[in-house]
Structure 1
């Protein structure tokens, strides 16, 4: 059983996800994707999440529980800064159920991840935010986060990823 981590908010506890939480994690991913109008892009399955999170351990998940009910999650993994010579934590997703927003739960989860980053000797905690998501942008700026406006994220996936990989052998 995963140990509950007390927070400043008496009814709100955190814990690391367990294998039996895979369906819950997938449901949070789908809720977040629906909020971001990207549900059609979710191809993750319970099997894929179990393999990635618990067999290969390429990412970790924190579950937030309010009055013993799961109300949010944060999925994160290590990245690495060559300039710092140290790892960082990259927050892939942070999601709090809409009815639970405004209680400070997201801030608590982010501060826990910051604490984890410090304890694990990481040099950074970073994440991306959709440019239309004004409520989140304002929230992050209030925490002291700074946008990396001079950076643009690039991505290859699906057929483009396969084609690029194949070009190595061509």
Structure 2
């Protein structure tokens, strides 16, 4: 088996990062919700450094990506890694790149002494759910995600 190769994104990868985000959004039938631009990604990933991106490579070509950031668990008293997005191009699925990205994130979490690695998954995405379960991930059935955005967020902030 060929060892999977990974690399962290640099500012030169902004177009590629945005392309992966759009491919993921298209897969999730949410492309119309993508308002991210290269300028915004540069500001938040590389200038403010609030998120990181790693790529999975095949023959030096980026075939998958993961965008993640640190969160914090008050109960554990330490940071964790939150996986915001993971996407492997369809033609490269089933070759271990998704598992490789998750394993890479797990190794980063261990290296950084994080308490956990977590993410959300859309309820309808059975292939991803089955994949995550096969890795030993546990669904958090007793939790509900809440979100405030846009005009509601602005009104609340007043």
Deviation of the 1:61 alpha carbon: 0.3
Q: Deviations over 1:139-169 (max 9, x none)?
A: 0000000000100000000001111111xxx
**RMSD across aligned positions (CA):** 0.8
Residue among 97, 112, 128 paired with 2:104 = 112
Q: Is the partner of 2:115 in helix, strand or coil?
A: coil
Residue 67 of structure 1 pairs with residue 55 of structure 2:
no
Aligned-pair CA distance for 1:9: 2.8
For residues 136 and 26 of structure 1, the distance between their equivalents in structure 2, rounded to whole angstroms, comes to 21
Q: Work out the CA distance in 2 between the residues paired with 1:61 and 1:138.
A: 24
What are structure 1's unaligned runs of at least 5 residues?
1-7
1:4 equivalent in structure 2: none
Q: Normalising to structure 1: TM-score of the pair?
A: 0.91
Does residue 1:42 correspond to 2:34, yes or no? yes
TM-score (norm 2): 0.98
C-alpha distance in 2, partners of 1:147/1:9? 31
How do 1:84-163 residues align onto structure 2 when only pairs under 5 Å count? 84-163=76-155
Instruction: Give the number of the structure with larger relative contact order, counting CA–CA contacts within 8 Å between residues 6 or more apart.
Output: 2
Aligned residue number for residue 71 of structure 2: 79
CA-to-aligned-CA distance 1:97-148 (integer Å, 9 cap, x gap): 0000000111011011001001101000000000000000000000000000
| Cα distance in 2, alignment partners of residues 152 and 103 from structure 1 | 33
Q: For the residues of structure 2 that align with 1:164 and 1:35, how far apart are their CA atoms?
A: 32
SS in 2 for 1:48: helix
Output the CA distance in 2 between the equivalents of 1:58 and 1:165: 22
In the other structure, the counterpart of 2:12 is 20
Looking at structure 2, the residues matched to 9 and 151 of structure 1 have their Cα atoms a distance apart, in angstroms, of 39
C-alpha distance in structure 1 between counterparts of 2:134 and 2:26, whole Å: 25
1:43-58 correspondence to structure 2 within 5 Å: 43-58=35-50
C-alpha separation between the residues in 2 aligned to 1:104 and 1:9? 10
2:2 is matched with 9
Which structure 1 residue ranges, 4+ long, deviate > 6 Å from structure 2?
none
